[in-house]
Amino acid sequence: MKKFITIILALGLLHTGASAQWYLYPGGRNEEKQEQTGAERQTQPQKQTRPERRQTRQEQAPEESVRVPLRQLPENRTETGGRDSWFAEPLFGRQTEVSVTLALPIGAGSEKPNANFLEMYSGALLALKDLGDEGVKVRLKLVDTASGAGLTREDVNGSDLIIGPVSYNEMLTALTLCDNGKVLVSPLDPKTAKLAETSGIIQAPASWTSQIDELMEWVQEDLRPEDQLIVVADPDSAGRGEQYRYLLDRLHGKVLDFRTVSSVSAINFIDGRTCRMLIASDSDSFLTGTARAAAIEAARNRDIILYSTSRIRSTIGSNVNDLHNTRTRLTAAYYIDYGSQKVKDFILSYRALFKGEPGSFAFQGYDTMHYFVKACHDYGRNWARRLPEFPEKGLQSDFRFNRRQGDGKLNVAVRRVVYNSDLTTSLVQD
């Protein structure tokens, strides 16, 4: 790690403390290493199998470009923005240059800088390198919020795009600096999705509500007339559990025929019929215990398929075989398909420049920076309103925004992942 940090600082990539509090969903592993959180490393690419039901979506071709080398990115850009430059940009059409402020709690001046956010910063720099190859000119300023400094009004007014800060409280403070239509991109914290409903926040990671929405679509697509649809509902979450209520409300909205039980032991399994199972609970222990009980029944030759959001990944720990035994269908904001050529290319580029392996934070930094800079470049000052017209598939996460009133926007793009009984995982392609 010391070697990794030294290399970054020696490259003159700006100064880059706080511990990460969010799980990123790396995916793409065939064994227990697949259960790592975003604070842990991804190492070896794995070959992925793909279900036959869905077809691969075609990738968008990059624009013709002139390369802007990474080394030309200044360590600290001078103030060239402000309101005059903001309104000097065309309301419609491409910007000739994008000014970006990235706010991360790296803690460069501390004895031990934060490895996760160093990775995220490194991934963001690789995104700028690739954008430079496409002809996109970018000026970058890094604000190290772990040093005690936060975003200033000068930062906000002088930027076309502000990514960060990463925490809910910092985002609240930064919002007070935003006017003239300026918005903030929240790159990690899922709690900031609530702010997007009433303020100029763009939530980059898809929320748990979007994961449940996608899960309901998936269940409806898979369900056959002869199947059993069972909801194992946590009695302690009834009436007060937010995710419990949302799942059942969405299920009722689909007008599906299902039965509710309080435990797996209460299910009347019928030979020859597939039991498609959902868990309604706000309790991690109930979620884990139910998955364990379902896996035990599956070992008794019960035909069970479990449906869940990625939350179960962080609760089940090392018992990943429970997901494989129940052939779990998972909706997730993050998943890395190590069979993808783009992912392989990113890993090779990261190794070559930083002499290490990219973790989930590196992928997140790349995806977030690449998507929003490209949107800002292509749509000019009006870029935030045009996001519904600009879906994109990233390395670890995808981006799709619905049209809605208000300044904020929520990413609703969710990936579908299948845990196969042969201990592999598959990314279901659109």
Q: What percent of the chain has pLDDT over 90?
A: 64
Q: Which amino acid is at 187?
A: P
pLDDT digits (tens, 9 = 90+) for 327-345: 999 999 999 999 999 999 9
pLDDT digits (tens, 9 = 90+) for 385-407: 899 999 999 999 999 998 765 66
Q: With 90 as the cut, is the pLDDT of residue 109 above it?
A: no
State the pLDDT at residue 237: 86
d(CA 288, CA 217): 23
Q: What is the DSSP letter of 71?
A: G
More confident residue, 223 or 11: 223
pTM, 2 dp: 0.78
Q: With 80 as the cut, is the pLDDT of residue 45 above it?
A: no
Closest to 15 in 3D by CA, of 142, 125, 161, 126? 142
State the pLDDT at residue 406: 63
Dihedral through CA 347, CA 353, CA 354, CA 359, nearest 10? -20
d(CA 362, CA 126): 9
d(CA 318, CA 426): 19
Helix axes 360-379 and 341-354, enclosed angle (nearest 10): 110
Please, are residues 430 and 399 in contact by the beta-carbon 8 Å criterion? no
| For range 177-189, the mean pLDDT | 89
d(CA 99, CA 264): 54
d(CA 215, CA 418): 12
Beta bridge partners of 309: 331
Please, are residues 166 and 105 in contact by the beta-carbon 8 Å criterion? yes
Please, are residues 56 and 416 in contact by the beta-carbon 8 Å criterion? no
Angle, alpha carbons 48-51-53 (nearest 5°): 155
- What percent of the chain is helix, strand and coil (3-state, nearest 5)? 40, 15, 45
State the pLDDT at residue 19: 35
pLDDT band at 81 (very low <50, low <70, confident <90, very high): very low
Q: What percent of the chain has pLDDT over 70?
A: 77
Please, are residues 419 and 323 in contact by the beta-carbon 8 Å criterion? yes
Helix axes 341-354 and 2-10, enclosed angle (nearest 10): 80
| For range 240-267, the mean pLDDT | 92
**What is the radius of gyration, based on Cα positions, of the chain?**
22
| For range 292-306, the mean pLDDT | 95
Helix axes 242-253 and 208-222, enclosed angle (nearest 10): 40
| Per-residue tokens: 70 | 């990474």
